A and B are shown apart, each in its own frame.
Chain A
Amino acid sequence: MLEAFLTSTITMATPILLAALGELLVEESGVINIGIEGAMLAGAFVALAIAYFSGSIAMGLAGAIAGGVAINAIFAILVVNLAVNQVVTGTAISILALGLTGVFYRKLFGVTGRAFMVSPIAKIPLGPLARIPLFGPVLFNHNGLVYFTFILVPALWYVIAHTRYGLRLRACGERPEAADALGLGVIAIRWQALIVSGALTGLAGAFLTLAYANTFVENISAGRGFVALSVVIVGRWNSWGLAAASVLFGAAMALQFGLQALGTVVPYQLFLALPYALTLVVLAGFGGQAAAPSALGEPYRRQ
């Protein structure tokens, strides 16, 4: 019972964390991407469509990356090159992606309502590690994307805090004019962050369709991209904090099913609302922007 809940927590947390880590890179460079929900949705859809028609999960994943990157590229042109309002642009991108995935989904798969399933990504139990009581199956019996996310947390922490590239990245988010005066190339770095983030978010979306639901439904992401934004804030722009926050929200989502299965008298809508309400509560307590990169959200253009 507990094992199922914890495993479910990790499964729920993974796409959120993956997207949040991508967003962390972007925000450290000084950009806030509300379009993250759209990128996730695009990744989810493209992954399923390509995996279904090609029969190859690998191609599906590649498609997810392409989809996420494409969405973020549109965002980047507007926000990085043209310096428009980041918040409204991001919202529009999410709306756009919702519409595009809906339209193309109907066109490709018809309105019959028949579920188009793909077989899930294989799980890779990590040998002896998977046999440790309780933690074994919970942590070490997942598919490759989960392990990838595990590794990404310390990797990103190291890159951002301790490498030259991370220093340049943070400089862009701190004071872009100064970064440009030093020849760091703010526009290029922000583009790079958005491309990498697009890939990661696309993969997060792919997780939803290829590992979790094994199909696509309209708006399958259901706000997970927005939850990822909160995760970055609650995690105080720190990889480990992000991981902790994602686990928290993942647990809230896992709770839905666990408690529904218990058949309690509490309405199931409460559980569906739980992750979002929890996000609000946590933000109310820990949601200050004090730890945010100084130039976050401010459009920047080289004179």
Chain B
Amino acid sequence: MLSSIAKPFAALALAAALISIVLAALGASPLGVFAALGEGAFGNWYACVDTIVKSTPLVFTGLAVSLAFSGALWNIGADGQLTIGAIAAGAIGPHLANFGHAIAIAIILAAGALGGAVWGGVAGWLRARRDVNEVISTIMLNFVAVQALSWVVHGPLMEPSRAYPTSSPIAPAARLEFYFAPSRINLGMLLAVVLAAACYLLLFNTGAGFELRAMGRNRRAATFFGIRIPALTFWVMALSGALAGLGGAVQVSAISHRLYEKLSPGWGFEAIAVALVARLNPLGIIPAAILFGALDNGSQAMQRTQGISPELVQVIQGLVILIILAFDTPAWSGLREQIFGASHDAAAVPPVAEMPDA
């Protein structure tokens, strides 16, 4: 157990070291940058709330990614699934004025989940029935989703005055922050935590979750023991999409209240780093999401005070993923055992990416 926590910390430390080199190359002060990040993320109450706000979508997409990755389904499309979920929420939101609050929330979230489920399900179906590598299909769907969003905010869903490319605001009944206005604390955060717990139970305490993990670790054996791979693939991708879509709906319902272009600053990709830091464990997603949410939040302060553009956060994401993968390789197993003790858990992400086979 200790080694499970120690490894991500070690990886983050190493990432920090490498980032420092990059920063030095850019002529910035590493300590200054890290201080700015920390200050921006946690410096005062408002910053902390903002960090949580920025972490929330990462919990949803992080859960989506970790669930799919646990089944060796490489869902790189959480961004697109979140976007489609947001579109569904943004489309139905303005029409919910006459519903009671609870019902309106339920509807808008359901719409988001459904939208995301469809987007994920398409990729799942393509993999299950047409042998299409889901990495490529989900990436393509990301691009299509971006254009879909652009279209709706310039077209069918555009707000009536047609002054700005956004959609009509959603009805107040459908807004999640209702109980805590004007602070941006919202029930979506609670939902995220509840879902994380639910995903954990699903993965480790149900028969279905076991089948998912078995499929992810050894597809051949899973097939041999009667686990129906095509159906499982489809449903896992649909569920994964639903989680991401839910994240999109929560974002629209609680924070943005409307749609606009570039709704997601890359939460779907960031989710990969989140999932790996959490070692694909749904409970670990929460602290991991907060970490990356903090980085996102702090990056604006970093830009202001240190002159480093926010893209640095993506560099951090990429490095963290690479380092964690490198840590888990069997190549270092001897060294790993010495530092972390004999570990009884396998690599979080199995080395084999199961390509669809004929």
- A interacts with B: yes
**Chain A residues in contact with chain B, CB under 8 A?**
32, 34, 74, 78, 81-89, 91-100, 102-104, 106-107, 111, 218, 222-223, 226, 229-230, 233, 267, 269-270, 272-273, 276-277, 279-280, 283-285, 287-290, 292, 296-299, 301
CB–CB B330/A83 < 8 A:
yes
Chain A residue numbers with a CB within 8 Å of B313 are 99
8 Å CB contact of A92 from B151, B272, B331:
B272
Separation in Å of the A124 CB from the closest CB of chain B? 33
24 contacts between A and B (CB under 8 A): A32-B353, A34-B135, A82-B329, A83-B331, A83-B351, A85-B353, A87-B135, A89-B321, A89-B322, A96-B315, A97-B318, A98-B318, A99-B317, A102-B311, A103-B22, A223-B140, A269-B147, A272-B150, A276-B147, A283-B126, A288-B358, A289-B357, A290-B131, A292-B355
Residues 311-356 (chain B) with a chain A CB within 8 angstroms: 311-319, 321-322, 325-326, 328-331, 349-356
CB–CB B276/A289 < 8 A:
no
8 Å CB contact of B155 from A267, A288, A290:
A267
Give the complex CA separation of A233 and B127 in angstroms.
Answer: 14
Chain B residue numbers with a CB within 8 Å of A96 are 314-315, 317-319, 322
Closest to B309 in A: A106
Which of the listed residues B69, B135, B319, B328 has the most CB atoms from chain A within 10 Å of its own CB? B135
Give the complex CA separation of A95 and B131 in angstroms.
Answer: 26
Closest to B151 in A: A269
Which of the listed residues A97, A270, A279 has the most CB atoms from chain B within 10 Å of its own CB? A279
Q: A78-B325, A273-B144 are in contact. List 6 more A-B contacts (CB 8 A).
A: A85-B353, A86-B353, A95-B318, A99-B316, A269-B147, A297-B354
Chain B residue numbers with a CB within 8 Å of A32 are 353, 355
**Chain B residues in contact with chain A, CB under 8 A?**
22, 26-27, 69, 74, 76, 126, 130-133, 135-137, 139-141, 143-144, 147-148, 150-151, 154-155, 269, 272-273, 276, 308-309, 311-319, 321-322, 325-326, 328-331, 349-358
CB–CB A106/B311 < 8 A:
yes
Nearest 7 pairs between A and B by C-beta?
A96-B318, A99-B314, A102-B311, A92-B321, A99-B315, A290-B358, A273-B147
CB–CB B308/A103 < 8 A:
yes
Give the complex CA separation of A270 and B144 in angstroms.
Answer: 9
Separation in Å of the B150 CB from the closest CB of chain A? 5
CB–CB B144/A276 < 8 A:
yes
Chain B residue numbers with a CB within 8 Å of A83 are 329-331, 351
Chain A residue numbers with a CB within 8 Å of B133 are 233, 283, 287, 289
Give the complex CA separation of A230 and B143 in angstroms.
Answer: 14
Chain B residue numbers with a CB within 8 Å of A284 are 126, 130, 132
Closest to A102 in B: B311
Chain A residue numbers with a CB within 8 Å of B358 are 288-290
CB–CB B137/A100 < 8 A:
no
Give the complex CA separation of A82 and B326 in angstroms.
Answer: 7
8 Å CB contact of A85 from B141, B314, B325, B355:
B325
CB–CB A296/B355 < 8 A:
yes
Give the complex CA separation of A92 and B318 in angstroms.
Answer: 5
Chain B residue numbers with a CB within 8 Å of A84 are 325-326, 328-329, 351
Give the complex CA separation of A102 and B22 in angstroms.
Answer: 13
